[in-house]
C-alpha cells in the first residue's frame, strides 16, 4: 500500500505576498525563505482504510476502496504495429487500379475485462453457495458453506459476522472496492483488403472509387467475469468482433467540368452556362456489431450481466423489416425478437458473446452530397466564385442503434435519427 501526503501553507496578509520563498541565500531578508517541513502523521500502518473485522478501531462495514497500479502495466503506453503492402497498375489510359492489404495489431490497450483477483470480483466457482452468499458470515452459515464448498474459510481472524459470505470470498475482503486502474491488457487486430479505382482528368471528368473489406477484433470491452468462463480466461472469452468493426465501406467521388457554352451560339448564353463544375461524394458503410447485455442477473460481485442465447432458436432475431422503417410518429416497434435471449438463472453466467450475437449489427450509414461551382473571372486578378451544395441530397434517414438490454421492455426499439436532414447551402467569394 502507498500513501501520499502534503502540506498546507497560508499567507498572513490574504495572499499579498507568497507563503514562502524558494530562496535561502545569504542576505535574503525575508523570514519565510524555507519550504515548511513535512511531519508524517503517526497513524500510517498497513491496516489503514480496512474493515469488515471486529478488531477494535477497524469495525467499519464501509472501509475504503483502493487503487492498484501494476508495476509492469502502470502508465504503459499502448503499442501498435502497422503493416501494409499493395500493387498498382494502370488498367486503361489515365485510370489506375490499386489493391492493398492493411493491418494492425495493438497491445496494452485500455480494457474493462479485468484480471482475475485484481477486480476484487467473486470467482464464479463460488456461486455454488447460492443464497448463502448474501447471508452474514456467522458460524452457522460458515458451517453450511463448508458442507458445500469444503475449501471455504474466513479470510482472516476476527472477520466481522455482520459482513456477508460473499465479502469473505472476495480476493481482498478487507476493502470495499479494489480498482485495477491501469490494467491495460487489451489487444486488438485489424485486417483489411482495400480496392481503389482512380481516373485522372479525361475530357473534364475525374473520379475515384474505393472499397474496403475489413475485420477488427479486440478484447477492450467488459467481461462477464474477470476469471473467464468455461475454462477460458477473460481475455480469451471476450475476444470478439470490435464495437468499431466496419466490414464494408464504399466511397465514390467525382468532379465533372461541364462542357456547355464552348461552341458557337449566343455569346451571352454561353457566358452564363460555361465554366460550371459538378462534384459529389457518395459513401456507404456497414453497421458496427451490437453489444447485447441483460438486466436482472443474480451474479454477486461479478462482472457485466450478459444474457443467454436461447437453445434451439433458429434464424435471425431481426424482425419488422429495416431498422426504424416501421415506426410512426406515435409508435416505435421492436426490431429484435426478445425470444432469442434469456436472462441467466441465478448464480450462473450468461453465454452470449460479448458482441455480434446472432450476427446482429447496428444500422449502416449512407450519405450523398452534391455541389455545383463556377468561377467568374472579372479582370486579370479579381474573380468571383459561386457555389451551391446539398448534403444528404435524397433526404433519407439513418437510424441510431436499437436498445440492447435483455429484460428491458424497449429491447430492439429504435427511437432516434443518426444523420441530419437535407441541408442546402449557397456561398459566394470575391478574390482580388
Q: Is the pLDDT of residue 95 over 80?
A: yes
Q: What is the pLDDT of residue 59?
A: 56
Task: Pick the more confident residue, 22 or 301.
Answer: 301
Q: How confident is the model at residue 178 (pLDDT cuts 50, 70, 90)?
A: confident
Low-confidence winner among 57-66, 346-355, 369-378 (lowest mean pLDDT): 57-66
Burial 324-352 (b: 16+ CB within 10 A, else e): beebeeeebebbbbbebbbbbeebebbbb
Cα separation, 390 vs 393, whole angstroms: 6
Q: What is the pLDDT of residue 37?
A: 65
In the chain, pLDDT over 90 holds for what percent of residues? 64
Cβ proximity of 267 and 163 under 8 Å: no
Cα separation, 114 vs 393, whole angstroms: 46
Instruction: Give mean pLDDT, residues 136-144.
Output: 95
Q: What is the pLDDT of residue 375?
A: 87
Q: What is the pLDDT of residue 107?
A: 95
Instruction: Give the residue carrying C-alpha cell 499502448.
Output: 78
pLDDT digits (tens, 9 = 90+) for 387-432: 999 999 999 999 999 999 999 999 999 999 999 999 999 999 998 8
Q: Cα 230 vs. chain centroid, distance in angstroms?
A: 26
Cβ proximity of 383 and 377 under 8 Å: yes
Task: Pick the more confident residue, 221 or 10.
Answer: 221
Task: Pick the more confident residue, 325 or 275.
Answer: 325
Outline where DSSP puts E strands in 258-321: 276-285, 293-294, 308-309
- With H, G, I as helix, E, B as strand and everything else as coil, classify residue 251: strand
Q: What is the pLDDT of residue 98?
A: 97
Q: Is the dihedral of CA 168, 173, 174, 176 positive or negative?
A: negative
Cα separation, 430 vs 432, whole angstroms: 7
Q: Is the pLDDT of residue 4 over 80?
A: no
Show the cell assigned to 308. 443467454
pLDDT digits (tens, 9 = 90+) for 121-138: 999 999 999 999 999 999
Q: What is the pLDDT of residue 65?
A: 83
Cα separation, 364 vs 345, whole angstroms: 34
- With H, G, I as helix, E, B as strand and everything else as coil, classify residue 193: strand
Average pLDDT of every residue of the chain? 88
Cβ proximity of 185 and 118 under 8 Å: no
Cβ proximity of 114 and 303 under 8 Å: yes
Cα separation, 152 vs 324, whole angstroms: 52
Q: Which value, in Å, is the radius of gyration of the alpha carbons in the chain?
A: 33
Q: Cα 274 vs. chain centroid, distance in angstroms?
A: 50
Amino acid at each position: 500500500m502507498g500513501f501520499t501526503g502534503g502540506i498546507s501553507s497560508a499567507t498572513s496578509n490574504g495572499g499579498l505576498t507568497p507563503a514562502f520563498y524558494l530562496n535561502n541565500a545569504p542576505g535574503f531578508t525575508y523570514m519565510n525563505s524555507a519550504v515548511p517541513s513535512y511531519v508524517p502523521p503517526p497513524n500510517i500502518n498497513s491496516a489503514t482504510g480496512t474493515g469488515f473485522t471486529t478488531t477494535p478501531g477497524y469495525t467499519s462495514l464501509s472501509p475504503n476502496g483502493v487503487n492498484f497500479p501494476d508495476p509492469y502495466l502502470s502508465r504503459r503506453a499502448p503499442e501498435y504495429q502497422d503493416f501494409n503492402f499493395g500493387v498498382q497498375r494502370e488498367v486503361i489510359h489515365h485510370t489506375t487500379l490499386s489493391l492493398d492489404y492493411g493491418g494492425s495489431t495493438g497491445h496494452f490497450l485500455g480494457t474493462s475485462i479485468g484480471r482475475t483477483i485484481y477486480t476484487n470480483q467473486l470467482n464464479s466457482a463460488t456461486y455454488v453457495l447460492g443464497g448463502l452468499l448474501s447471508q452474514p458470515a456467522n458460524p452457522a452459515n460458515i458451517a453450511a458453506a463448508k458442507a458445500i464448498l469444503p475449501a471455504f474459510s474466513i479470510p482472516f481472524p476476527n472477520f466481522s459476522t455482520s459482513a456477508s459470505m460473499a465479502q469473505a470470498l472476495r480476493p481482498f475482503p478487507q476493502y470495499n472496492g479494489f480498482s485495477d486502474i491501469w490494467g491495460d491488457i487489451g489487444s486488438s487486430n485489424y485486417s483489411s483488403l482495400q480496392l481503389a479505382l482512380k481516373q485522372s482528368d479525361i475530357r473534364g471528368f475525374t473520379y475515384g472509387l474505393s472499397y474496403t473489406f475489413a475485420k477488427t477484433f479486440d478484447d477492450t470491452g467488459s467481461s462477464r467475469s474477470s476469471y473467464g468462463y468455461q475454462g477460458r480466461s477473460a481475455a480469451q472469452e471476450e475476444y470478439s468482433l470490435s464495437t468499431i468493426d466496419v466490414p464494408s465501406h464504399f466511397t465514390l467521388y467525382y468532379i465533372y467540368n461541364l462542357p456547355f457554352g464552348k461552341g458557337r451560339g449566343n455569346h451571352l448564353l454561353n457566358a452564363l452556362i460555361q465554366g460550371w463544375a459538378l462534384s459529389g461524394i457518395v459513401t456507404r458503410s456497414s453497421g458496427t456489431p451490437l453489444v447485447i447485455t441483460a438486466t436482472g442477473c443474480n451474479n454477486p460481485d461479478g462482472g457485466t450481466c450478459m444474457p443467454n442465447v436461447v437453445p434451439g432458436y433458429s434464424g435471425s432475431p431481426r424482425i419488422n423489416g429495416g431498422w426504424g422503417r416501421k415506426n410512426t410518429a406515435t409508435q416505435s416497434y421492436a426490431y429484435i425478437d426478445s425470444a432469442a435471449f434469456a436472462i441467466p438463472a441465478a448464480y450462473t453466467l450468461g453465454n452470449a458473446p460479448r458482441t455480434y450475437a446472432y450476427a446482429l449489427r447496428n444500422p449502416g450509414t449512407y450519405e450523398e452530397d452534391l455541389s455545383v461551382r463556377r468561377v467568374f473571372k472579372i479582370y486579370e486578378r479579381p474573380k468571383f466564385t459561386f457555389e451551391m451544395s446539398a448534403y444528404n441530397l435524397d433526404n433519407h434517414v439513418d437510424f441510431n442503434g436499437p436498445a440492447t438490454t435483455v429484460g428491458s421492455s424497449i429491447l430492439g426499439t429504435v427511437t432516434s435519427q443518426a444523420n441530419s436532414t437535407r441541408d442546402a447551402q449557397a456561398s459566394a467569394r470575391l478574390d482580388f
